[in-house]
Structure 1
Amino acid sequence: MSELFYDAAPNATRVAPERPVPRHYPAKPPEVILFGTCVVDLFFPEAGLDAIRLLEREGIQVRFPANQSCCGQPAWTSGYVAEARAVARAQLELLDAGLPVVVPSGSCAGMFRQHYRELFAGDAGMLEKVERLSEQTFELSEFLVHVCRVNWQDLGSPTRVALHTSCSARREMNTHLHARELLDKLSNVERVDHDHESECCGFGGTFSVRMPEISGAMVKDKTQSLVASGADEMVTADGGCLMNINGSLDKQREAFRGRHLASFLWERVSGERKEEVA
């Protein structure tokens, strides 16, 4: 039986989704939709562009619906069910176009694949759209590995990287496995294992706002483990975690930094080295 989670909405009890089961992967399509996520759009837009570049490099045309916004996860996990449904309905209308939906964030992809079913439980009309979106949603690294089946030449200099995956992305999308497989395809990249890799960075959406002391202690453990790993940098496919970890590193006056996996991958396969923005 799945563990039950308390929900702040009256009379609402949510069931934790099971770990993802093996899924059938389609042949590489000629066209996809990119759901950029609100965090990538606002804080890491270059990562969104790099995700598009990676997909276009594989011969795929990328659609980006301009009216997309949030997946609804912050409202849902905070107990604002009606508000989450309103946001989710808007995304479903945009994304229900019969195309694969690629998401450069495991937690947002998990919201589509797992939690929309809970969000619209009992609404037969919406559940049809939810099921279609669930089957058509792929996290970026998952899509590159299992649908595009990429086989890249690494054009970058030798480097050592540590991987961080958000706890929800690990549970719901197996993002850590897909990202590891992608990094291991790069001949000049050594992936460095580190303590606390499987632990939460402390962000957790609104958790970091509601419980800042606990969140701060968690991200300090995470950042100290990353710095001690001997890696040159950290890569992650989750913008919220990236923002939290880099923010903590900045406050600690550490030179070590993380960046989005999409930007790291594009640099390796394109040979372009981008100047870091201070």
Structure 2
Amino acid sequence: MNSERITEMPSKYRHVEKMSTVEVLSNINMEDGTVADSIKQHIPQIGNLVNIIKEKLLAGGRLFYIGAGTSGRLGVLDASECPPTFGVSSDVVIGIMAGGDEALRFGFEDAEDSEDMGWADLNRYEPTVNDVVIGIAASGSTPYVIGALKQAQKRGIVTGSIVCNIESPISEFADFPIEVVVGPEFITGSTRMKSGTAQKLILNMISTATMIGIGRVQDNKMVNMQISNQKLIDRGTKMLMEKAGIQDYEKAKAMLIAYGSVQEALKITQKL
């Protein structure tokens, strides 16, 4: 495996403390603008991973994200947004990070150094060959993630990875490695910046494309979203009125609340 870590290479920007605020912001923005293009060339690999995730979820499996630091937080974030956005159970997409939930708010960066702990945290969920495990690590060398993927792969569980270095150690244990090189960070080694942005964009792509593929979206609408506040009730009511041809707002709202989602309400209207 390649030992060079592009994510740790020196920034091309020098003496940033002497830049004006506008210069700092402009340079960060310029670097951020390169991230989407870096991802574009990896869409086929991302697509292959999504296709296997769809297959596993439709068969009753689960999707796990596992990471440490920023990478772990991004995985937990994406997983936590799937139930309210797509109406799936909270045990369908699961985010695991080194240090546990407390590490979401407070940095326990040394928690990433144990291979054994990575598998131990994942194994609490009793993963099976019906599941998919995606390791997320900007460096591609985080022991916590390596340990989880290594043990999952040994047990025949499909593995993927999202990293920002080429030929990384983590990729050795990923059946579907995604290695998006975004180059040195604006602040040397600060992978919460471009690397984190790349990971966030890829996670958005994976979860959204997967949920579309398993029928949780119709047309371009979140028909299975949880109606958990007034904004979402209003959005769902208008969506139901449009799709079912209901003219009465209060009638549509009552149906939405009664059946819990636009999709379930639509099923009823189609039977009437």
- TM-score range relative to shorter protein: 0.3 to 0.5
What TM-score do the two structures reach when normalised by structure 2? 0.34
Larger RCO (CA within 8 A; separation ≥ 6)? 2
Decide which structure has the larger Cα Rg and report it.
Answer: 2
Larger helix fraction of residues = 2
